[in-house]
Amino acid sequence: MKRLCIALSAVCLALAAQAAEVSVAVAANFTAPMQKIAPLFEADTGHRAVLAFGSTGRFYAQIRNGAPFHVLLAADDETPAKLEKEGQGVAGTRFTYAIGRLVLWSRQPGLVDDQGAVLKTGKFDKLALADPKLAPYGLAAIETLTRLRLLDTLRPKFVLGESIAQTHQFVATGNAALGFVAYSQVLAEGRLQGSAWLVPADLHTPIRQDALLLGRGKDNAAAAALLQYLRGDKARAIVRSYGYDLEDPQK
């Protein structure tokens, strides 16, 4: 029995030594899916993911200034590519973990029609969107309004959020009647809350959201494990359940 206890203790110590912690910078739109994925990742691998949520633009500046993140889950593909080119990311580790969808949303049922015609009526006081300089979803909103030839007309109604999370908050609290947010933010158990128009994907540049192993995570086992986990069926099923599109895993 004593020998068995010693053997079991050795195994536990070995597993503890192998387990690691990964610090992850997560785009605000991906908050809900990542909060579901993280505990499953820990249960399945023993590694722990420490999550920080915010705008991709802010994370870029923080990483450039030495923020101790191991992995970036961005809201676009340009920022990870830029960090990789600048030597802040590990070459060859970047991949698309989700393709986002933009939605015009109001917490008020019936306010937003399924064609987005409410934008042309102008019968609302404020229109929330994320700062296009910081958040890719904000840029997609600007591109959409430009394609609809409504940008100049509606610009005086803009309320800019620093991130897509703050933008959603503006609408959820009624500080703006409607706003452009991430589709994932307005789904609760697969059902839409309030009223919304799912913006056709051809009205803006595809919102390809890329993951990147950062330089600080190069030798971190948990960082490598997390990136692999995001490619797995369990994580992908969660991502899909929040309204994201997915790329072929073989690409």
pLDDT of residue 1 exceeding 80: no
Q: Tell me the three state secondary structure of residue 245.
A: strand
Q: Are residues 177 and 59 located together in one domain of the fold?
A: no
Handedness of CA 169, 101, 50, 65 (dihedral sign): negative
Residue 16's pLDDT is 42
pTM of the model: 0.82
Q: Are residues 56 and 131 located together in one domain of the fold?
A: no
Q: Are residues 93 and 104 located together in one domain of the fold?
A: no
Q: Are residues 75 and 111 located together in one domain of the fold?
A: no
Q: Are residues 138 and 105 located together in one domain of the fold?
A: yes
Residue 249's pLDDT is 59
Q: Are residues 28 and 93 located together in one domain of the fold?
A: yes
* H-only helix segments in the chain: 2-18, 31-45, 56-64, 78-85, 118-121, 136-147, 151-154, 164-172, 221-230, 233-241
CATH number at residue 74: 3.40.190.10
Number of domains in the chain: 2
Q: How high does pLDDT run on average in the chain? A: 90
What are the pLDDT digits (tens) for 96-154?
A: 999 999 999 999 999 999 999 999 998 899 999 999 998 889 999 999 999 999 999 99
Q: Indicate whether 249 belongs to any domain.
A: no
Q: Indicate whether 12 belongs to any domain.
A: no
- Per the model's pLDDT, the better-predicted residue between 184 and 1 turns out to be 184
Residue 50's pLDDT is 98
Q: Are residues 191 and 218 located together in one domain of the fold?
A: no
Q: Which domain holds residue 34?
A: 21-99+207-241
Amino acid at 38: A
Could you tell me how far CA 230 lies from the centroid of its own chain? 13
Q: Are residues 106 and 180 located together in one domain of the fold?
A: yes
Q: Are residues 114 and 137 located together in one domain of the fold?
A: yes
- Cβ(223)–Cβ(45) under 8 Å? no
**Complete DSSP assignment for 55-90:** -HHHHHHHHHTT---SEEE-SSSHHHHHHHHTTSB-
Residue 205's pLDDT is 94
Residue 190's pLDDT is 63
Residue 6's pLDDT is 43
Residue 14's pLDDT is 39
Residue 247's pLDDT is 84
Q: Indicate whether 13 belongs to any domain.
A: no
What are the pLDDT digits (tens) for 14-52?
A: 334 467 999 999 998 999 999 999 999 999 999 999 999
Q: Indicate whether 234 belongs to any domain.
A: yes
What are the pLDDT digits (tens) for 204-249?
A: 999 999 999 999 999 999 999 999 999 999 999 999 999 999 987 5
CB atoms within 10 A of CB 249: 10
pLDDT of residue 3 exceeding 50: no
Handedness of CA 85, 88, 92, 96 (dihedral sign): negative
Q: Is 1 exposed, middle or buried (0-12, 13-18, 19+ CB in 10 A)?
A: exposed
Residue 192's pLDDT is 80
Q: Indicate whether 46 belongs to any domain.
A: yes
Residue 237's pLDDT is 95
